[in-house]
Amino acid sequence: MKKPRALIIRAPGTNCDVEAAYAFELAGAEPSLVHINRTISGQVSLRDYSIFMIPGGFSYGDDLGAGKVMANELERRLHDQLMEFVNRGGVVLGVCNGFQVLVRAGLLPVPFGGQRVSLLPNESGRFECRWVRLSVEPGNPCIFTRGIDSLDLAVAHGEGRLYVPAWTAAEIVPVLRYASSDGSEPVYPDDPNGSFEHIAGLCDASGRILGLMPHPERFVRSSHHPRWTAVGDFSQASDGLIFFKNAVDFALRA
């Protein structure tokens, strides 16, 4: 069976691209790490891929705001390629800085609808690097979270607080929310940034475009979890890997 091809773009400052490629490889895809300039120049085309990922890091140093420069490149120089890719059923994943890019490029929450939400500095005023508990929104259409109810993932960001203006709240499709261990309303540090309705990730109406602040690519082996040696039967040993397997399975059926 031919493996789905996954394009992972990188730029100066991205630092999670190798981990993302490894995750897709484990999940059964054929990943390609490509500098965004090669895509802009036409040397590499989205037409040859079924999965497109923007990884985490600090693209272009976040000098004009988190993800802003890469968002401008997607919006102004790759718009036609992206629109064709999305319209033919392609899968898009943006993690951390990649989520910031998707939001600023107007790919979420409404594809090609302009920027409608934002990701602001954490309420703590600090860079938050910790493991968090997440709940999956029941009945959401996201292809990445099929078969998942809850999971642990790591966050590492300074600007992850989702801001949603009242006029666009009805367009939001929550996928992941920060959760507390006892099921109560999450407060800091369970919710590391003070996000709107504790949302950690959202998708478009089709469920094929997902943006999230936590890092699924950092938990694809049991030994990635800080408690893996303390739990005899760690049943959620590969929480993050499920995201990538679901994307690959979807691409195979498409």
Q: Where in the sequence numbering do the catalytic residues fall?
A: 96, 215, 217
One-letter amino acid of 154: A
**Which letter does DSSP use for residue 57 in this model?**
B
Which residues does residue 231 pair with via DSSP β-bridges, in sequence order?
none
- Give the separation between CA 6 and CA 21, rounded to whole angstroms: 8
**Beta-sheet strands, E only, within the chain:** 5-10, 30-35, 51-54, 91-95, 118-120, 128-136, 150-157, 161-163, 173-179, 199-203, 209-212
- Give the separation between CA 217 and CA 14, rounded to whole angstroms: 14
One-letter amino acid of 106: G
Burial of residue 115, with CB atoms counted within 10 A of its CB: 0-12 exposed, 13-18 middle, 19 or more buried: middle
